[in-house]
Each structure stands twice: as C-alpha cells, then as structure tokens.
Structure 1
Amino acid sequence: MTATQVQLQYEVKDLSLAPLGRQRIEWASREMPVLRQIRDQFAKDKPFAGIRLVACCHVTTETANLAIALKAGGADALLIASNPLSTQDDVAACLVADYGIPVFAFKGEDNETYHRHVQIALDHKPNIIIDDGSDVVATLLQERPHQIADLIGTTEETTTGIVRLKAMFKDGVLTFPAVNVNDAETKHFFDNRYGTGQSTLDGIIRATNILLAGKTIVVAGYGWCGKGTASRARGMGANVIVTEINPVPAIEATMDGFRVMPMDEAAAIGDIFITVTGNKHVIRGEHFASMKDGAIVCNSGHFDIEIDLKALEAQAADISTVRPFTQEYKLKSGKSVIVLGEGRLINLAAAEGHPSAVMDMSFANQAKACEYLVKNQGKLEPGIHSIPVEVDQEIARLKLQAMGISIDSLTADQIEYINSWTSGT
C-alpha cells in the first residue's frame, strides 16, 4: 500500500490478487440467485442514482455481490471492513480493479487503521449507511453530528448493531430511520442459524484440525446463532453444553436436548468454548482459571469483547502462535488455554464466513432495505423500522423458486375462513 493508492481512493493489500478475487466472486454468485435478480432489476431501475452509500461490512465474496448490485443500481458506493480479520484481500482487490468500487480494507488491519477507514467512509458524506455493528453510525453521531442532515437512513444486520441502535434511540440521538435487517425472517432464521452454525465449526476446524466428535463444546448464548452452532456441533458428534442468562431460551435448549448450566460450572468441563451472545466478557478470568489444560476458546459474536483477553493475558506466563489464527496462552498455573482468531469472529478470521446460499437472502434484504429507504425518503419516522413483511415474503418466494420448490396456495374457501369470525365448531 502506498500514499498514491490512498489518493486513488482505495487501500487494499495487493491489486494483483484481483483475478483470483473475480473467480471467487463469480463462484459465490452461482449460489446467490435472489440477489442476482435484484441486481438485474436495479440495473434497469437505477433506484440509487445520485445516492452516496457507505457499507461497513465483512469484505467477502458475498458482500462483493451486494456491492456490485448496489453499484448496478446507480449508487456511488464505498466499502470498508467491519472487522480487522474478516477481509478477503483478493475480493477487495477485485472490487477496486474490476468494478471501480473504492475499498478501504485488508486482512489484519490494526484498530488505528480501522478507525481511520471509518473516518474515510464518513468523508464520503453518505446518504445511506450499511453498518455491521453500528460503528459508522456511532462515530457519525459522536464526532460528526452535522452530517446527519445528509442521511436518508441506515441499515443494520447484526444483533450487536441492533442493540446499539436501540440504545441510541433510547438516548434520543437516533434522529433518522434505521432498518432492522437482522430481524427479517429470511435473515435470522437462516443466516444466524444455518450460516453461523456451519461457518463457526468450519473456522474452528480450519484453525485447529481437531476432531469434534466426542469433545464437550460449550456454547454461550442460545439465540439463533447459538441454536445453529449447538445443533451443528451435536451433528458432528460433540457433547454440547449451553449457557444462558435468559430463562426462556434456557428452557428451549434443555428441551432441545442440551445440558444447561452457568459458565462457572461449564468452564471446568468444556473442551471447546464458543461465545455467541453479543455481550462483553462472557468468559472471564475466573473461568480461564478453572478450565482444563489445552481448552480451546473462540468467539462467533460480532465484536472481540465476549472473551476477556486482558484477564487471560494477566494469568499468562507466555503467549505464542502455534498455528495460523491459533495462540497458546501458557498460564502461570502450568496449564494452557488456546485462543482462536484473537477472539474475533472465528468463522471469518479462520474461514470464509457464511455460505453464499444463505447470504443470498441476507444481502437481498440489505439491498431491498436500501431501496425502501430511498423510496420512502422523508416519510419514515426516526427510529428502528422492520423490513416490510411483503419484502420478506418475496425474498422467500424467490429463494424457493431458485431451489425448484413449489408450495401450496390458499383456496378461496380457506381465505374466507381465516378472515371470518362467524365460522366455528
């Protein structure tokens, strides 16, 4: 990377990686038929003509297909990474070299670089922000409130980001519309459950090459991501323990056949620990102290704060990298704890993230959410808005159609029945 490259409005690892990136982007597109249809429609309608759009996302092959669709719709788009270890450098290079999309992202960027890229994104004076984790929106509110006037709205598809947006609204600073893509049924039922479930285990296996069968895996959190992770781990032959703070999902995990207990108890039993809560310090110093020698710890929540690594460092006599994305903390007690992916998203740090087929629906929602904001500019109240049900249903219908699956339709008699209160026993 050079100063000249930055002036040309991109900052990627190596532009010569572009041909490989293009191959991989096109391969992912094969599994994303819904987004392809939306892209084709955008290319005709140009809903984003004159719109400056910033996306702070994991720079993967799937995100590339979203960015290409938005540009096809006329957007003046700029892309930055939402996580220092999730960028696929060949993809970033291809978006710059082959599609002319400014990208500021490279795998392994430090926090200082990440925050500088957030500032570059805001320099673009966005009308729409696609955020993963709400860092760009939070920075705008805290450091550049004068740019709120430029905003049509934002979209967010992470649980962590939605929690932050709700806090912003509660504090009275969210003065523009935000579309909650995360809670669309065609997002969290599939992306969070099947996507996170499969890709998390993929990341663990790539980082360690260990056999999961027979291992005791502790899954912290039983939301949709936790459900998918626990289910897939059991499918690989693991004995799964779930920890929770909410009594309702705790009952659900129990009835799904998992052992449920506090982390204080699970810490001494588990071989592998996976956090998917969206909260901070779910695994703390006292938990590390009671873990088995060689216990493996990783995170699949959005930010790297679910595991208290500072507390682990305080207990460590030595820290060494034993495999790519795999660090061994040798504790003063004589035991060791293995941390994967520096506590960041293991499915993107050590693997490729969610499969394209599931991201097809998630990014179809993102694309349609951006279109919804533009079409309803000036009409939406400040605050958090759901994806319209008809959009959610249409994405599901297109996905089924692409999969070659047909379903039933209501008969006229059935429609009359469900809309009537006079019919009974």
Structure 2
Amino acid sequence: MRIDTRCSQAGTRRDPVTGAISLPIHHATTYAHPGLGSSTGFDYTRTSNPTRLALEETIAALHGGCRGFAFASGMAAIDAISRLFRPGDHLVLSDDLYGGTYRLFERLFRPLGLETTYVNTSDLRAVAKQIRPHTRALFVETPTNPTLKIADLRGLARLAHERGAWLIVDNTFMTPYLQRPLELGADIVVESATKYLGGHNDVLAGTIVVKSEALADSLAFIQNSIGAVLGPQDAWLLLRGIKTLHVRMDRHEGNARALAEWLKAHPRVSRVYYPGLPDHPGHAVHRAQASGWGGMIAFEVANNKWVPPILAHLRVITFAESLGGTESLITYPAVQTHADVPPDVRQRLGVTDSLLRLSVGLEHVEDLIQDLDQALALAASAQVEESARKVTC
C-alpha cells in the first residue's frame, strides 16, 4: 500500500462495533478486566490507550518499523531515547542541532555521565574520526535545524553498525512521506510530531519508531515507567493531521522551492539554505535518499540590522517559533531556537545574527513573495533613513 493511502486511512477501521470512520477518543484511564488473570489488552492508559495505540501503529506503518511510540512532546521522545544509555556511554551528534536537543544532552545528561561529541555529520570521514570504543550511537538530523545540512544516512548506518552502535535520526523536517530513515539503515527515527505530522499548530507531540523488537521492548519499558505519554485527545488530533500529510507536504515543498529561488536572486539576501537548490552542498545526497525537498528554508540577509524591521513589517508570515503548520512562520534562531547554544558555537555553525528560518506554509506563493519583498524593502529603507539621520546629526 502506498504511503498516500496509508496517510489518508490513518485510524480507520478501528471501531467494529459502530463502524465509525473517525476514530473514537478513548478518555478512559483504566479498563475493566474480563476476569482474574485476563485483560482486554488495555489495563491503564499510561501503558496503552486505544486512541494512542492507533496512532502508534499508524506511525510505525508509515516508517516501516516494528513498533511506534507517542510522547507528550518531541523533547520527551528524545529524553526517552537518551535513557537507553548509561553513564560512560558516548554519542556522536550533528553539530548543527536543534537547540533544545543540545540543551537536553549538555545540561541534563552530560552531568549524569553521558559523553557527547558534536561533528559535521555531512562529512563521513569526520564522523568516523570521532567514533570511540564506547560510542553507542550516532544521533543526526538531516536536514539539520536550521542550516539544512544533509547527512548520508546509508553511509552513517554502515559506520555505526561496523562499530556496534545505533543510528538515530531526527526526521522532523522530512516526515515519513518524504524520507524513511529505517529503510536507509537507521535503527531509531524520532520526530517532533508537533510540526508537520500534526500540521496545524494545535498539538504538542513526539513520536519514535524503531526497527527491532529488542529496542521496542526497551522503549516500551521506558515509556511506561516515565509516563510522558501522549493523551488521547492529542493522539486523535495527530491522526487527523496525518490524514492530509501527503497533500500538505507537496504544497509546502512547491511553495518552498519557489521562495528559495526567489530569495536566491534577491539583492538584499546574501545566502539561501535549501536542499532543493542545485548548488546546495547536500543536493545530490538528499535526492538519493529522500523523495522531496521539504518546506524549510533558511536565509541570511545582507545586513543583520535589517532583521528587527523585517520581522516587524511582515503581514502574512508570522514571527513565531515552531514550524510545519499551514501558516508560514519565520524564526530568528540566534535568539529563539538556538539561544542555549554558546555564541561562538552558533557563529561557527552558521547560526549568525543575520540568519532567519522560514517554515513555508500553504498560502498562495505570490502572497508570500510579496510579503517578504515589502518587508525587505522597508527594512533597507529604514536603515538608509537611520544612516542619513546620523550624518545630519
């Protein structure tokens, strides 16, 4: 069955009693036992819930994994993965990593003895040099957040498995519609389902899908023990979002490609990051492992003093954190998503004071272009006026 059909059918045929097409929301926290020593398969909703289970089975099927898990947020999902490791274990991570993930590993797990090394995971040789005898996993984003670096997942899987380590992939930007890391050799795929999977900026969630039953058993124990599970109402919202995932991702990508090409030609934009552009360093690798380019763009303006007026003058695109919704959102990573990353590290990675991240929504692309164009023009004009005032003074 093709993934478009799987998405459209998410959660259906789960209620044989009524035949309801829309999956019921099971708010029950506990379930009656048919008798001593027997169970319906549901005992306590922290362990399993019928609505959440439908979501978990759906996401596992979309990724081609053996089991899926739904958590209260993307960070809760990454926290659960982190608990697979022990003090003294070593992980190699993408250096251009979402700031919240960096914060989790550096502020919470490093003090508990988990060792981390950050490297450009687009460079297989650089990754290989950082693998140690006690390296237990490679944790990568591809494309990365926010500068959209591309990692060769097949190559990284070979590297990891040769050394007895796992490959863990944060697939948030791509979703299973465009990229399925487990099919490329990864062992675990994690996503902030708040983003494209939900797709409407109305649900906070995280998902994990694993390849092996042994990993599934370990994560099921962690999920049940910690209890940071997704509630049934949110699970239902997420299933509803997945039903249109394929349609939305095609529109996100179409708009993003047009915007990236327009930004690249704009005189007030100094650099554009988008894997769909032929001159992107990871263009060929991404094309070989994904079926599309996604809806995320990052770009640098020619003068970092233009950033505040650009954000102030946008009328269609909203200045807000997060991504992946129907509405276009623009983010200033240096002070928002990556504020916890030290300034010198941010600069080295390209998360500069002139970098903006754009989550391209489903609006008409000409409206988005016009909005950016007028904001860039007003920002430049304001800078000229300020310079003239200084000369006059």
For normalisation by structure 1, the TM-score amounts to 0.29
The alignment's TM-score, normalised by the length of structure 2, stands at 0.30
